[in-house]
Structure 1
Amino acid sequence: MTQPVTLITGATGGIGAALARALAGAHDLILVGRDPAKLDTLQAEVGGETLTLDLTRPETFAGALAGLGRVTNLIHNAGMVELGAVAEQNYAVWTHTLTVNVVAPAELTRLLLARVRAERGTVLFVNSGAGLRAGAEWASYAASKHALKALADALRDEEAPHDVRVTSLYPGRTATEMQRKVRGQEGATYDPTAFVQAETVADAICSVLNLPRDATIPDLSIRPGPR
């Protein structure tokens, strides 16, 4: 049988790489990132093909995707965060955050949607707990993630007639390099054992992708377990 083709943005990051390893062999992978050297290293481990994209420049996506073949599942995993108070963050931070976290996924989805429809596939957005509630210093990031939820909710209703499933995944704090950066911005120690492991989030994504066709998971939250 033909294997599903799964495209993962932010493939070289913690969750993205863990997901690529979890799917390797069962899915044909399209590994998307901005660093060709890191993509090549991951490709040597898990196979598949690589695609270099700059998520700050959605206007370049159409040309980059022109030669792409089948896409069954689209996993929007890439993202960025910059903490700061509303009184301190200027428009450049907001524009950058919204472009990477919302505009890029919207444009990538638009360009790949016909392929996903043809496969009756899944679009999965790796959101955040900040996509459900905003706290102090998190305004720009949380706003982008609230917008990402809105994108997913609208897309879910629009694509139901085409048998495309759409899921928003809301991980709590996860042991990744992004979390290391966040802890540094918070002036706190980074202890990866205190957080959800990237492999656990990847397992949850696999469960969504492997769900029988008689059901869908619109929203899924994951939080660190008791210690």
Structure 2
Amino acid sequence: MTPPSPAVSRPVALVTGASRGIGRAVAEELGRTHHVLVGGRDADAVAAVVAALPSAEPFVAELTGGELPALPERLDVLVHSAGVEDGDTVEATTLETWRRVFEVNVFAVAELTRLALPALRRAEGIVVVINSGSGLASGAGSAVYSGSKFAARALTDALREEERGRVRVSSIHPGRVDTDMQRALVAKEGNAYDTDFTITPEMVAATVRVAVDLPASGTVESLSVRPVRRR
């Protein structure tokens, strides 16, 4: 991928995990005002999202290995939405699972952010990490996923102070969201799936919009959004 053309007049946003679920909703929301780099692993799925947006291009990458595509000279928004959920009790979870979940949910976020910081600083931009309610509290059987999200929260807290006055950093913590990941999780829990206990990806995207559009003199440091009803 080549960096966006200098002719692109819109601010530029890179959204990872943008081919489906929350990431796609964020790409569509920001696509109303931004030129979107649509991040994802599946080139065909990414191309479908690109085609649906007014100003966009693909950012096809395997975030956990290999060389990443070139980043633009200026990047106004970086949204980390790619993530995985896995793990069981501590007793039943292998080291391989721990490593894989942390590789995607923490290490890839840190590395892409590191590479993007020069472009974000030039734009006085913003990093938004889609975390989780599991990044605020943990429970039995959730040590792996919650652990990775707690680590992601520590990353954003540190980055916010390191970049204060140069790059804003927001951590968004959704509760249960109506996505494929959520359906798989509910099935693993042995419960019937019911959207009455979820929020939509578009609701999460709306919270991202709030963080992005806040005047530069303020910042949404952390925002939790979750369903009114719960089991």
Query: TM-score normalized by structure 2?
Result: 0.92
The question of whether the paired residues in 2 share the 8 Å contact of 1:7 and 1:75 is answered with yes
**Which secondary structure state, in structure 2, belongs to the residue aligned with residue 86 of structure 1?**
coil
Identify, as 1 or 2, the structure richer in helix: 1
Instruction: Give unmatched runs, 5+ long, in structure 1.
Output: none
In structure 2, distance between residues paired with 1:69 and 1:215: 24
AA matched with 1:52: V
Q: What are the within-5 Å matches in structure 2 for residues 75-224 of structure 1?
A: 75-162=79-166, 164-224=167-227
Amino acid aligned to 2:154: A
Segment of structure 1 superposing worse, 13-22 or 135-144: 13-22
Equivalent residue pairs, number: 222
**Letter aligned with residue 177 of structure 1:** D
Could you tell me how far apart the structure 2 residues matched to 1:45 and 1:167 are? 27
Question: Secondary structure at the residue paired with 1:37?
Answer: helix
Q: Does 1:33 find its partner at 2:36?
A: no
2:3 is matched with none
Give 1:215 shift.
1.1
Distance 2:59 2:70 in 1: 11
Question: Equivalent residue for 1:3?
Answer: 10
Q: Secondary structure at the residue paired with 1:123? A: strand
AA paired with 1:169? I
Give me the TM-score of the superposition, normalised by structure 1.
Answer: 0.93
Match of 1:56 in 2: 64
Q: Distance in 2 between matches of 1:193 and 1:53?
A: 34
Question: Structure 2: which 5+ runs fail to align?
Answer: 1-7
- Per the TM alignment, residue 2 of structure 1 is displaced from its structure 2 partner at its CA by 3.6
Q: Take 2:129 and 2:27, find their aligned partners in 1: how far apart are those partners?
A: 16
**Aligned twin of 1:21:** 28
Q: Cα 1:161–1:212, aligned 2, differ >3 Å: closer, same or farther?
A: closer
How many Å separate the matches in 2 of 1:207 and 1:191? 28
**Separation of aligned partners in 1, 2:87 and 2:102:** 13
Asked if the contact 1:168–1:219 (Cα under 8 Å) also holds between the matched residues in 2, the reply is yes
Alpha-carbon distance in 1 for matches of 2:217, 2:150: 28
Post-superposition CA distance 1:8-54 (Å, at most 9, x none): 00001211111111122310000101111100111111140111111
Q: Take 2:168 and 2:178, find their aligned partners in 1: how far apart are those partners?
A: 28
* Partner of residue 5, structure 2: none
Cα contact 1:175–1:193 (8 A) shared by 2:
no
What do the CA deviations read for 1:111-152 (whole angstroms, capped 9, x no partner)?
Answer: 000000000000011000111111111100011000000100
Moved more, 91-100 or 12-21: 12-21
